[in-house]
Amino acid sequence: MASLELISSAKSFGGHQQRYRHASDVLNCSMNVSVFVPPQAEQDTPLPVVYWLSGLTCTDENFVTKAGAARVAAELGLIVVAPDTSPRGDDVADDESYDLGQGAGFYLNATQAPWHSHYRMYDYIVDELPGLINQTFNCLPKAGLAGHSMGGHGALTLGLSNLQKYTSISAFSPIVNPIDCPWGQKAFNAYLGENEAEWELYDACCLLQQQGQFMQLPILIDQGLDDDFYQSQKLTRPFEHVAKQMNYPAIVNYHPGYDHSYFFIASFIESHLRFHHKYLLEQR
């Protein structure tokens, strides 16, 4: 396995906000990942980890610079890992639109040309990246998984598909039913082709119906009601409906006046980190 190469580090709230580069065998390109390392890392104790998955058009740096998570992560002793949202590079397939190609990996394993040779974000987030993080840092075995928008879709689908790897899932304004919204239909047609049975493997509503009966991970979702995409992309609400039908104890909060931006995330990121911290510590 390749190793993480440190490319920048800045002290923050007693810890360090760091950025790494590594060669990805899964994505067949070089990748960047941002990691907040809390001051407790100086002690010889395994630390809890939260993976943050960002949304369309983002890189690994958007969350770091806009969410304001470092203060609480430092207090709680959380390692926070923020990967990029897709493979990147001159040889990586791309599209002129913002919602397909580089910056829009959708946290799935593409099966269609020209995407299939690089776009395997599912395997990257679930297996390859945690292997590198655990190799580099002293981590507890299971992680928390969080995300926003497309990244909220990723957090829900990856978490529900890998119940033994995660302690908890949270999302801001997630795409929850991509087989029935414009963003998801465009991406799934391109990356997965026309076989809609494959689409269901990456749809949080379908996965909740299939996996929620076997094991229930704690789930927290926050949704702004002034979000421009709340209605047009059918965010959050379909998932809540399925959870209620199944008596699945997901926590879903709606917030008047909040939109889809990082101002919304920054307003509630503390509650998400404390939510994950509670369940992460149960491993000790």
List the catalytic residues.
149, 227, 260
CA 48 → CA 29, 92, 258, 265, distances in Å?
28, 33, 30, 21
Tally of helices (H runs) and strands (E runs) in the chain: 10, 9
197-202 contact pairs (CB < 8 A, 24+): 198/111, 201/108, 201/161, 202/106, 202/107, 202/108, 202/122, 202/153, 202/157, 202/178
Beta bridge mates, 6: 20
| Helix boundaries (H) for 38-162 | 62-66, 70-76, 121-123, 129-136, 150-161
Q: What φ, ψ does residue 81 adopt, rounded to 5°?
A: -105, 125
C-alpha neighbours within 13 Å on the C-beta side of residue 157 = 31
Phi-psi region of 53 (alpha: psi -120 to 50; beta: other; left: phi over 0): beta
Beta bridge mates, 170: 146, 220
Q: What φ, ψ does residue 57 adopt, rounded to 5°?
A: 75, -10
CA distance linking residue 122 with residue 115, whole number of Å? 13
CB atoms within 10 A of CB 222: 25
